[in-house]
Structure 1
Amino acid sequence: MLLTEPVVTFFTLWVSFAWGILFSFFSSVGQTFRHNYGWGTFTTGLVQLAISKEAVICTAVNPIQDRIYLRSARKNQENPGLPIPEARLYTSIPGSLLFAGVPTLGVACTGVGIYSIYMAVVNYLTDAYEKYAASALSAASLGRSSFGAFLPLASFELFDTLGYGWAGSLLGFVGVALSVVPVVLVLNGPDIRRRSPFMRESRFEAHAEPIQDRPSANTGV
């Protein structure tokens, strides 16, 4: 699925890059604030608390995303009464743009983006692949784990070689480029799902009645 399903491929790249940035914070934040502002270890450690603020913000926003998702069932002409899988992606589009934020306020913005990307990927792959959701999520987890392990190893050299401005900008540009992924799915999701053999075969046929209350898989980051 990772190699033959474009949705799984690009969603894995999207969430994997976000995951790599999250783990890169542990080295790059300290490196940046020590070099540019002369802060000590304790003070730079406090900057990373901004990441925890995003969890609070996104926990408050997530019910809004759930409400949008459930209301999409009224407009679903493909499977009347069932929510539209692409409705899982709406809040991830602005979130993926926040993902390109920098310095202290940017750490919280980036955290919001990472959270929204993670939730969008988990929930969309679950809805779109149904029977094969575990396999699709496993592919995404493989990418997340790989980027989370290896991208931080390049973080120090990246910032040291390119400088703090250009290194941060490069990561931001990549993040903005990958924000196209949810936009494409929102605009063309139904057509993409119809062309995918895995998605066509994955639906549970035993939906006895429309699902009116399917909350998100809010497992946290």
Structure 2
Amino acid sequence: KPGWANADLAGPIQRTFNVPIGFDTDVNGAALSEGRWGAAQGLDTFVYFTIGTGIGGGALVNGRLLHGLLHPEMGHISLPHDWEADPYPGKCPYHGDCFEGMAAGPAIEARWQTKGQDLGADHPAWELEAHYIAMAMRSIVCTLSPQRIILGGGVMEQPQLFPLVRQKTLAALNGYVQSPTILDNMDTYIVPPGLGNQAGVLGAFALGMMAESAA
């Protein structure tokens, strides 16, 4: 975030209280809690997304949180953008029409001049929203090969979105990934959080537990 680059947030807490500190992104914490207590129990490779005021993703790969150079910024992957069908340029101040720029809550509001929660279930916004989410899920399936994808956040509280996203993700993959988990069980492949809106808070507990066990 602007102004927060390289800020040492965990250091002062650790020095003040002299206890192990678990520090990570909110979505990595939520992914960890969903793996321990939620919708990804028993799986070792899965992805958690929050789609709300912003979009972020956290992943466990072979039982370990994925970090790499810093941490994944899944909300900023590029998506196919049909400018004729959707002339909206995108909301992201860095990339314009990335995933977050096209599908986060502020993008929905800016495109339609109405907050998402005030749009009817049959509004064309949701077909378009599901399209962009599905394009992102296709990329995630093809790059990380997760055993399950969990979609949380305020935007995903629209009940009509999950069936649309599953249908459009399957169509976008076009039979390329030949796994029964996807071909025959999409309803259990792309799912809501088992912990609901408590996944992030419980993720903080999970990170603390992990830090304590590693100390």
TM-score by length of 1: 0.27
Higher relative contact order (CA 8 A, sep 6+): 1
**Pair member with larger Rg:** 1
TM-score by length of 2: 0.27
More helix by share: 1
